[in-house]
């Protein structure tokens, strides 16, 4: 009777082929992953700014007092009462630029936006207030023939806050 002895495992050649295939996949995917990370920082910063603006508006209505949203350096912001009192502090909440969006840069029509007790922007601006969020580390925006999906946060005269993509047509619901 013959007995067959079967060995399980992989040979060195099979292992090397698998490592080479993994290296090729990683080399092809690394630039896309880096771009995704840079675009995520733009989206995180824009989302944070929307959160801060909505908080300022809600606090103004809740307290029936003027509450301001102040942009700081990079993408940092602070929400606080315009007239401070024991029940209305100068800082209600703040966010550092290093919280998830270190490379994001923000430019705005105005650095301080004040909401009144009715949730409206005061003094009433002549038009929508724009807050543009970019990431120069990742490259230029799509609107400028680059690869970054830059975003804009718009604050309407009535206090409405929305995020949009300036590279899309205004007829697109996501466009500005």
CATH number at residue 122: 3.55.40.10
Q: Which residues of the chain have pLDDT under 70?
A: 1-3, 29-30
Tell me how far apart the alpha carbons of residues 163 and 176 are, in angstroms, rounded to a whole number: 8
Residue partners of 162: CB distance under 8 A and separation at least 6: 50, 153, 154, 156
What per-residue confidence (pLDDT) applies to 108? 93
Q: Is residue 51 part of a domain?
A: yes
What per-residue confidence (pLDDT) applies to 1? 61
Q: How far is CA 136 from its chain centroid?
A: 14
- The percent helix, strand, coil of the chain (3-state, each to 5) is 30, 25, 45
What per-residue confidence (pLDDT) applies to 10? 79
Q: Is residue 39 part of a domain?
A: yes
Total domain count, the chain: 1
Q: Is residue 75 part of a domain?
A: yes
Tell me how far apart the alpha carbons of residues 17 and 19 are, in angstroms, rounded to a whole number: 5
What per-residue confidence (pLDDT) applies to 30? 66
What token pair was written down for 65? 């007092």
Place of tokens 């207030």: 129
Tell me how far apart the alpha carbons of residues 137 and 110 are, in angstroms, rounded to a whole number: 24
What token pair was written down for 127? 């038009």
Q: Is residue 16 part of a domain?
A: yes
Q: Is residue 169 part of a domain?
A: no
Domain that holds residue 51: 12-164
For 22, phi then psi, to 5°, come to: -60, -40
Q: Is residue 127 part of a domain?
A: yes
What per-residue confidence (pLDDT) applies to 29? 66
pTM equals 0.81
What per-residue confidence (pLDDT) applies to 143? 80
């Amino acid at each position: 009777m013959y007995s067959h002895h079967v060995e399980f495992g992989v040979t060195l050649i099979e292992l090397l082929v698998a490592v080479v295939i993994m290296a090729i996949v990683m080399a092809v995917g690394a630039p896309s992953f880096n771009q995704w990370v840079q675009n995520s920082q733009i989206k995180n910063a824009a989302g944070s700014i929307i959160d801060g603006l909505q908080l300022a508006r809600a606090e103004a209505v809740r307290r029936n007092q003027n509450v301001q949203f102040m942009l700081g350096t990079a993408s940092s912001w602070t929400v606080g009462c315009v007239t401070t009192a024991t029940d209305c502090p100068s800082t209600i909440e703040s966010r550092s630029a290093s919280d998830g969006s270190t490379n994001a840069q923000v430019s705005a029509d105005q650095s301080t936006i004040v909401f009144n007790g009715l949730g409206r922007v005061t003094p009433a601006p002549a038009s929508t207030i724009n807050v543009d969020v970019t990431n120069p580390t990742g490259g230029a925006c799509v609107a400028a023939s680059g690869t970054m999906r830059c975003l804009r946060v718009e604050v309407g005269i009535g206090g409405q806050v929305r995020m949009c993509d300036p590279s899309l047509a205004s007829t697109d619901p996501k466009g500005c």
